[in-house]
């Protein structure tokens, strides 16, 4: 099977259009169409549904795309390993929760950069569930996520244990009953956030129905809204070093059963471990020790 034909197939599938794929490849559309027809003949199955607005993958096309993505990921890893002389270089794409990105990660990344200045770092924030999906899809080299992760395709390294706190406006002092705090609107990140899940589980066990749940895509926006009196939220207590000191919000201790959350770094087990990722994991383990 021709790797070039698979590359063309992959780009057409991603673009959803022969014309857009041809422009991206700087290749004649008629020649591209011929290449795909030849691939379909070789595999004895149609790969696309053609329509007036572009193309859509058939069921067999979806299957081929999944294998093709894995194949090109493997090709990239083989090239990386062949060039790897034991020196960390190239790029490292990391996913993380926003809370980690503003607490322990800056110091960690700064130390990594000092040790390995030839590595181009890229950090993508998001909820844990989405970061895990991105790692599984080979879009991220690894990710910091909340909670121990048990997945057949992932390896993990324990990073730290976080103490959680309920954040409210300074209107509520430390002696405010939980029932009063939890009757406020809940300010949360999208579904897939482990801290949101723990907050909702806590309310369920207390048999409290929130007056309203307000969803944000930014931790900073949540804490700013807490300080304005909109509602309450649950996040690591370590955030107080950035917010409580400014008298913007106050934190409240939560029951022991909801007070702890693990943070782990995860990566694919089948990923070829080049020196760049190995050096990052070594630094993590050293910091943990």
Which residue among 83, 106, 141 closes a domain? Answer: 83
Last residue of a domain, one of 65, 83, 101: 83
Split at pLDDT 50, 70, 90, the class of 245 is very low
Do 22 and 152 sit in the same domain of this protein? no
Residue 78 scores a pLDDT above 80: no
Q: Are 189 and 127 in contact (CB under 8 A)?
A: yes
CA atoms of 232 and 267, how far apart (whole Å)? 33
> Per-residue pLDDT averaged across 146-152, rounded?
88
Domain identity same for 181 and 245: yes
pLDDT exceeds cutoff 60 at 140:
yes
The CATH number that applies at residue 8 is 1.10.10.10
Would you state the pLDDT for residue 86?
66
Sequence-distant (6+) residues with CB within 8 A of 218 are 98
- Last residue within a domain, chosen from 83, 106, 125: 83
Segments forming the whole domain that contains residue 24: 3-83
Same domain for 106 and 227, yes or no, is no
Regarding whether 21 and 70 lie in a shared domain, the answer is yes
Is the model more confident about 21 or about 251? Answer: 21
Confidence at residue 191, expressed as pLDDT on a 0 to 100 scale: 93
Q: φ, ψ for residue 90 (rounded to 5)?
A: 90, -135
Percent above pLDDT 70 for the chain: 94
Q: Which are the contacts of 172, defined by CB distance < 8 A and separation ≥ 6?
A: 180, 181, 250, 252
Going by C-beta distance under 8 Å and a sequence separation of 6 or more, which residues neighbour residue 286? none
Please, what is the Cα angle at 249 between 244 and 250, to 5 degrees?
75
Asked if 167 and 234 count as a contact pair (C-beta separation under 8 A), the reply is yes
**Whether residues 96 and 131 fall in one domain:** yes
Task: Give alpha helix (H) positions in the chain.
Answer: 3-15, 18-25, 29-43, 59-83, 98-101, 105-115, 128-136, 178-181, 194-206, 219-227, 240-243, 275-288
- Per-residue pLDDT tens over the stretch 150-208: 899 999 999 999 999 999 988 888 788 888 898 899 999 999 999 999 999 999 988 88
Q: Give the distance from CA 243 to its chain's centroid.
A: 24
Query: Does the structure show a pLDDT above 90 at 243?
Result: no
Task: Mention every residue, 6+ apart, whose C-beta is less than 8 A from residue 139.
Answer: 93
% of the chain at pLDDT higher than 90: 59
Q: Are residues 249 and 178 in the same domain?
A: yes
Mean pLDDT, range 57-71, rounded to an integer:
91
What per-residue confidence (pLDDT) applies to 84? 60
Question: Given pLDDT bands bounded at 50, 70 and 90, which one contains residue 79?
Answer: confident
Both 132 and 96 in one domain: the answer is: yes
Asked if residue 214 has pLDDT above 90, the reply is yes
Residues contacting residue 289 through CB under 8 Å, at least 6 positions apart: none
Asked if residue 244 has pLDDT above 70, the reply is: no
Query: Are 99 and 221 found together in one domain?
Result: no
Are 56 and 40 contained in the same domain? yes
Same structural domain for residues 29 and 49?
yes
Provide the CA 272 distance to its chain's centre, in angstroms. 20
**CATH code (residue 251):** 3.40.190.10
**pLDDT bracket for residue 242 (50, 70, 90):** low
Q: What is the mean pLDDT of residues 93-114?
A: 93
Q: How many domains does the chain have?
A: 3
| 16 & 139 share domain | no
State whether 276 and 138 are in the same domain. Answer: yes
User: H-helix or E-strand containing 236?
Assistant: strand 233-236
């Amino acid at each position: 099977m021709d790797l070039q034909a698979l590359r063309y197939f992959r780009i057409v599938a991603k673009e959803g259009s022969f014309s857009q794929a041809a422009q991206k490849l700087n290749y004649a559309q008629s020649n591209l169409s011929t290449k795909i027809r030849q691939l379909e003949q070789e595999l004895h199955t149609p790969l696309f549904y053609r329509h007036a607005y572009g193309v859509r993958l058939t069921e067999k096309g979806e299957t081929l795309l999944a294998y093709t993505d894995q194949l090109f990921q493997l090709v990239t890893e083989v090239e990386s390993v062949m060039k790897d002389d034991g020196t960390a270089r190239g790029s490292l794409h990391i996913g993380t929760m926003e809370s980690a990105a503003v607490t322990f990660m800056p110091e960690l990344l700064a130390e990594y950069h000092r040790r390995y200045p030839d590595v181009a770092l890229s950090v993508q924030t998001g909820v844990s569930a989405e970061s895990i999906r991105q790692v599984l899809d080979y879009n991220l080299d690894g990710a910091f996520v909340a909670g121990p992760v048990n997945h057949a395709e992932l390896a993990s390294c324990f990073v730290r244990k976080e103490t959680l706190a309920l954040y409210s406006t300074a209107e509520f002092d430390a002696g405010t009953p939980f029932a009063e705090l939890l009757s406020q609107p809940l300010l949360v990140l999208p579904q897939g956030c482990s801290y949101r899940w723990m907050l909702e589980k806590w309310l369920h066990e207390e048999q409290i129905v929130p007056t309203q749940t307000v969803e944000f895509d930014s931790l900073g926006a949540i804490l700013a809204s807490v300080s304005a009196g909109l509602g309450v939220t649950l996040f690591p207590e370590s955030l107080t070093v950035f917010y409580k000191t400014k008298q913007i919000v106050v934190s409240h201790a939560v029951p022991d059963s909801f007070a702890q959350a693990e943070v782990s770094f995860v990566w694919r087990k089948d990923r070829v471990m080049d020196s760049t990722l190995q050096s990052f994991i070594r630094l993590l383990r050293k910091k943990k020790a």
